């Protein structure tokens, strides 16, 4: 019975191609389909060059300006080269989150494998860029300036752990929040449905009102979580711009 709540997270194979490498399969799943759809939608819709913007163009300009200020505030002039990356990241995640709010639509961002894949590759990218920019001086981010030298081994250990755990927290935050929200949807609407099918028509108004509230909350969460992901990515990219 509880499994039904998790059915919405199931990965379904749509197209399977037997690959050359032994047992490895290349599969196109519902998750891949949503990602392709998200990219396609924004590829088609992220445009507008009117001097007086239409409604859609205003939304696009708002997103553009907001992400640009996030990148500018955290990375300064030198970090402007990362703006296209952060904007694409935001559009990708926000599109997946928002599409996922529709009934029967699969949300790839509820899977840690997707979000952790993103966050781990961002951390690997930041590390590589840091070493490319600052050579071995990049290691100095693992030792806070001005701390007594006696504490160095201890501090370096702590800072290394916190550096690595960025990748985990960034990905897990997004997946956990989104999947909790979707589970909440399933549980409370199941509750309302059970009440209705047992004849408790008046009482079922309460879970329905809660559903409305949670739907509004989740609409905000879909955008906020994508924004937080990009904000933290911009902060982490700061290590490749300046050593503190």
Both structure tokens of 145: 């300036």
Both structure tokens of 96: 């997946």
CB 187 within 8 A of CB 174: no
Q: How many CA atoms lie within 13 A of 5 on its CB side?
A: 15
101 vs 142, which CB is nearer to ligand NAG? Answer: 101
Question: Which residues face 18 on adjacent strands?
Answer: 25
181 vs 207, which CB is nearer to ligand NAG? Answer: 181
How far apart are CB 67 and ligand NAG at their closest, in Å? 18
Nearest residue to 165 via CA among 111, 123, 127, 110: 123
- Distance (Å, whole) CA 145 – CA 21: 49
> Residue 204 in 3-state DSSP?
coil
Among 223, 224, 231, 243, binds ligand NAG (CB under 6 A): 224
Among 181, 192, 232, 238, binds ligand NAG (CB under 6 A): 181
45 vs 176, which CB is nearer to ligand NAG? Answer: 176
Among 8, 107, 115, 177, binds ligand NAG (CB under 6 A): 177
Give me the 129-168 binding string for ligand NAG, x by CB under 6 A, dash otherwise: ----------------------------------------
- Distance (Å, whole) CA 82 – CA 234: 8
Between the alpha carbon of residue 229 and those of residues 28, 51, 93, the distances in Å are: 26, 31, 9
118 vs 221, which CB is nearer to ligand NAG? Answer: 221
Q: How many residues bind ligand NAG (CB under 6 A)?
A: 6
Verify binding: residue 109, ligand NAG, rule CB under 6 A. Answer: no
Q: Which chain residues interact with ligand NAG by CB under 6 A?
A: 177, 180-181, 184, 221, 224
């Amino acid at each position: 019975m509880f499994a039904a709540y998790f059915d919405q997270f199931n990965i379904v194979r749509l197209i399977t191609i037997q690959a050359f490498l032994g047992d490895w399969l290349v599969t196109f799943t519902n998750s891949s389909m949503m990602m392709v759809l998200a990219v396609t939608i924004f590829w088609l819709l992220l445009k507008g060059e009117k001097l007086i913007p239409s409604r859609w163009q205003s939304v696009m300009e708002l997103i553009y300006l907001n992400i640009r200020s996030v990148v500018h505030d955290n990375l300064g002039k030198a970090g402007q080269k990362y703006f296209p990356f952060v904007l694409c990241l935001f559009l990708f995640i926000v599109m997946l989150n928002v599409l996922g709010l529709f009934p029967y639509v699969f949300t790839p961002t509820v899977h840690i494998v997707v979000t952790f894949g993103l966050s781990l590759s961002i951390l690997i990218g930041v590390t590589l860029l840091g070493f490319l920019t600052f050579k071995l001086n990049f290691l100095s981010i693992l030792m806070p300036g001005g701390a007594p030298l006696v504490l160095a081994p201890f501090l370096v250990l702590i800072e290394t752990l916190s550096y690595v755990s960025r990748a985990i927290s960034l990905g897990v935050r997004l997946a956990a929040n989104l999947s909790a929200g979707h589970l909440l949807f399933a549980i409370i609407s199941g509750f309302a449905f059970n009440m209705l099918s047992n004849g408790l028509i008046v009482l079922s108004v309460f879970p329905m009102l809660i559903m409305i509230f949670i739907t509004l909350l989740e609409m905000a969460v879909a955008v906020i979580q994508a924004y937080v992901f990009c904000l933290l990515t911009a902060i982490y990219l700061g290590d490749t711009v300046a050593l503190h």
